[in-house]
Structure 1
Amino acid sequence: MERVGIIQMTSGPDIEKNLDFIAEQCVLAAEQGVKLVLTPENAVLFANREAYHQYAETLGEGPIQLRLSAIAKQNQLTLIIGSMPIKTEQGVTTTTLVFSAQGERIAQYDKLHMFDVDVADGHGSYRESDAFCAGNQIVTAETNIGTLGLSICYDVRFPELYKALRLAGAEMIVVPAAFTAVTGQAHWEVLLRARAIENQCWILASGQTGTHPCGRQTWGHSMVIDPWGQIHAQLHEQVGLLVTEIDLSHSQQVRQNMPLTQHSRFQNKLKRKPKS
């Protein structure tokens, strides 16, 4: 059994305030013996295009990444930052960063699927591609508790990605998110449970929640789902820390009893990045 922590937040444009909240929750997690902590999408900055581009950091450089590395090291846990803006030659990406318990960045994943949709809420139209450029690699990482597959929010609607992560050896897959209240109520739980069942993986999902300073409303309901598709633990709309234990041997048993990958008659054709 391995103890994991999920941080649920209502992030805003104040980076220091967001970082302080993450640091506080990681201290609480470490006190409870947690080995791996996940934060939501846009955890360190929840704002607009101008702010994302203004505060984007080059990978491996900048005060935000330095602080995150220190938080992981000080608390001796793997810290997964759901996403933050990273500056590249092609533009700005929204990127998951994984820091080891020693404070080293061991993996990064640029969100593949941009949320360019119309939603029947107060915001109305979302065009993520106006702020970010999409990634082009599938990423797994070796952590202190097992092999981790990386995804972000809107990715959860594309099962091909999760199948590729499973085939790449993922035992658990993270889904940091900022689901809208409307789409979250309709689809969040069912999509997460489907991805767990299809791939016989643990799903660790961390959501933004509540009304943000920019006026956007997000769904929350962070949860951990086991490889049989059962909700193992969850929060609802409150901010804070969810701590639970997962048993990776459960995945092995489910896969042995129902060998989906052996029965599948489809070939996986997605490229993937080698394990970090």
Structure 2
Amino acid sequence: MIARLVELDRASRGYSDEVEELVASDPSFAIHIVAAANSAASSPASPICTIGSALARVGSSAAVEMLISTGITRVFVPRDEWERSLWRHSIQVAIAAREITIRAGDTGLDANEAYLGGLLHDVGRLVMFQESSDLLHEVDDAPWDSPEGLLATEESVYGIDHAALGAVAAKGWGLPGRLVGVIEHHHDPSALLPGTVSRLAEVVRLADAAMFPSAMADHIGYAGAAIDTVEDNLMPLVSGWMRLDAVELHDLITETTLRADSIGSRLGV
């Protein structure tokens, strides 16, 4: 990914768009740029919660220089299919969260903020990976079959679950409180006070559940499932304001899977 940044032609008319596409495809890139845009040095009048706004604040060229020059531009470098699945899931949930928000219509939510929330929702798992990939393998190999089971397994192995760890990390990086709330409560949006942040968390929870199976190697997930399966497993997570039925959600999952695969192919991941 760093090589792709280095290869960008700064004189190209599409330079800024190419930078945004790369930043939007990598959780650690997004963390660095959004944190920089919200830093005391940048002094934004209000929290910056989208990648486009962050790049506008920092500047595309400055952003590229920042990412290339730091020694921690990546939380992890995927080396095998299991590691690629961590990256793939982040991209899929980001795309799905944006599409769910767009299809919901006039809800007061920003689709680009939903994208960033989806991209970063599992950043706690990436931090766990950095701490010990063997322990994360132990978590993923355990016989849990629900989000609650995953969180409990992480708690027993790491002493903290990925949602809580992600929130701690996000606060430490200086990310806006809205994003911290989504990261911390993407499995339990009801813990948040009603409002746009709780709705963003609801969107990310649905996107996470919808895309989880298809992130696994050789697993087509809900894109290959019957509509009845989507109805039974996912529709209970669909709030009325989202304006989605089972067929529309199934189509959204299929489109998201194809788009994420296309991005992965272009980036060589």
TM over 0.5, shorter chain: no
Write 1 or 2 for the structure with the bigger share of strand.
1
